[in-house]
Every structure is written in structure tokens, then in C-alpha cells.
């Protein structure tokens, strides 16, 4: 709720400022662009995924080394009214994370350096259903906030693998569910609409597949492992 309050405050502050700075009337590009009931587009962008861990015991945290991944997808937009749109944004997101374990997880068990590192590569078929709430268009700009829910199929999941961390296989689940919240700004160009946006993505369900050994040093102390991250997307409609 705190994140939602901050984003909403920023949104309405931006609306007030934009109304003052851009109130001078200008020639509008694509003045009727938002009038059709249905519209289409595509997006390209970047993601930065992390993991949020909850633990059974108060040991050292698992450190997550993050890297930027790639997003690409399509957009289907259903106009509800001047300020509300329902959007379906199926896409592909690719990411990689490294998990660095502390030796305290092994609690006297023998280990080597390779046991302290696990790589998690994810290729998600990502399917969000979002509600877009816009301000009134001011000349050729229109700020908005967006939020909703999504599901994702992890094509890189090894959930059914008969091997686990004892043989170097860190396993994650196939099906994920998220809630999403973000903001952006529509920029009306002469031939098309360009939209930069940023969005937070937060998993609802636990992504970790536990090892077969209930005392596994890699998974036994983890209560839940949930993906979180953000997208930076550039949309063309």
C-alpha cells in the first residue's frame, strides 16, 4: 500500500505540474487516435528481476546478483472511456539471476565453492491483464498509471527434473502469478503514439521447488522465494 500511495502521489502531482507547464494550446498530433474501441501495438524493453526470500531461521541472507534482461510483446487495448482502458499485453521476458549462499547454510556439512553459487535463468511467457488510468490529454502528452494481475509460464523451469541441488540443479516452478503497478506517459507523434513506462512486478506465489532431502542446505531454510522486479518498456501504437 505504501508503494501504491507513493506512485499515486507522484501521478497526481505530475498531472498538476503538466497542466501548468503545457496548458498553452498546440497543434495536436493524431487528435482522434484514442477514439477507436480497439487498438493494437507492440513493446520492447528491459527487465531487472530479483528474489524476495523469507527464512525459517535467522541465518545469513542469500545474495542475489541481478542483471538486465529483455522484454518483447504485443498490446491489445480496449477503450472503456476517455480515462480508462483495459489492456492485454502478452509477451516474452528473459532474465538471469545468480544466488550466492553463505557458508552458514551448510552448518558443518562439507561443501566446495561451486555449492555456494546457483544460477537461475528464466524465460517467461508473460500474460498481464491491466487497467490503465489516464489523465486528460494535454496537447500531445497524456500521463497515466497502470495496474493489474498477470500469469507467467517459465519455459526454463526444471520443476519435473529428477535431480536437485545435490547434483547442481536448482529447481523453480513453471507457473507464476503476479500483481503489477506502474506509470508512464503517452506521447502523440505525427504518425504514431510512443509510450515510455516503468512497472513493478511482484510474485504472489512461491517459486521454489524444494530438494528431496528435507535438510538440504540450499532449500530447507527457505520459507518462500518470490520474484520481484521492474520493467522499463517502450510502446509503439
pLDDT tens per residue across span 109-150: 778 888 899 999 999 999 999 999 999 999 899 999 999 999
Average confidence (pLDDT) over 194-216: 94
User: Which one, of 2, 14, 41, lies nearest residue 193 by Cα?
Assistant: 41
The pTM (predicted TM-score) of the whole model is 0.80
Contacts 24+ apart (CB under 8 A), 156-164: 156/121, 156/122, 156/123, 158/209, 159/209, 164/209, 164/211, 164/212, 164/213, 164/216
Q: How many residues does the chain have?
A: 237
Interior angle at CA 227, CA 148 and CA 4, nearest 5? 40
Tell how strand 117-134 and strand 91-100 pair up.
Answer: antiparallel
Q: Which residue has the higher pLDDT, 9 or 158?
A: 158
pLDDT tens per residue across span 25-42: 667 777 888 889 999 999
Interatomic CA distance for residues 121 and 32, integer angstroms:
43
pLDDT at 4 over 50: no
Q: What percent of the chain is modeled with pLDDT above 90? A: 64
Whether residue 121 contacts residue 96, with contact meaning beta carbons closer than 8 Å, is answered with: yes
pLDDT tens per residue across span 97-109: 999 998 888 877 7
- Spell out the domains of the chain, with CATH numbers in brackets: 2-24+41-236 (2.40.160.20)
Amino acid at each position: 500500500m505504501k508503494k501504491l500511495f507513493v506512485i499515486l502521489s507522484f501521478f497526481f502531482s505530475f498531472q498538476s505540474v503538466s497542466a501548468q507547464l503545457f496548458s498553452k494550446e498546440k497543434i495536436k498530433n493524431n487528435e482522434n487516435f484514442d477514439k477507436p474501441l480497439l487498438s493494437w501495438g507492440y513493446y520492447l524493453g528491459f527487465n531487472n528481476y530479483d528474489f524476495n526470500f523469507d527464512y525459517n531461521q535467522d541465518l545469513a541472507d542469500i545474495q542475489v546478483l541481478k542483471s538486465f534482461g529483455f522484454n518483447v510483446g504485443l498490446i491489445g487495448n480496449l477503450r472503456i472511456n476517455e480515462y480508462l482502458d483495459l489492456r492485454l499485453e502478452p509477451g516474452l521476458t528473459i532474465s538471469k539471476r545468480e544466488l550466492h549462499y553463505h557458508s552458514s547454510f551448510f552448518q558443518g556439512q562439507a561443501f566446495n565453492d561451486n555449492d555456494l553459487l546457483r544460477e537461475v535463468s528464466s524465460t517467461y511467457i508473460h500474460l498481464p491483464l491491466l487497467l490503465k488510468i489516464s489523465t486528460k490529454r494535454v496537447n500531445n502528452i497524456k500521463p497515466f498509471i497502470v495496474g493489474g494481475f498477470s500469469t507467467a509460464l517459465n519455459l526454463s523451469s526444471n520443476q519435473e527434473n529428477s535431480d536437485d541441488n545435490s547434483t547442481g540443479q536448482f529447481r523453480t516452478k513453471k507457473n507464476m502469478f503476479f500483481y503489477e503497478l506502474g506509470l508512464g506517459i503517452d506521447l502523440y507523434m505525427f504518425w504514431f503514439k510512443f509510450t515510455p513506462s516503468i512497472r513493478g512486478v511482484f510474485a504472489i506465489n512461491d517459486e521454489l521447488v524444494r530438494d528431496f532431502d528435507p535438510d538440504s542446505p540450499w532449500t530447507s531454510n527457505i520459507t518462500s522465494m518470490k520474484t520481484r522486479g521492474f520493467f522499463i518498456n517502450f510502446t509503439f501504437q
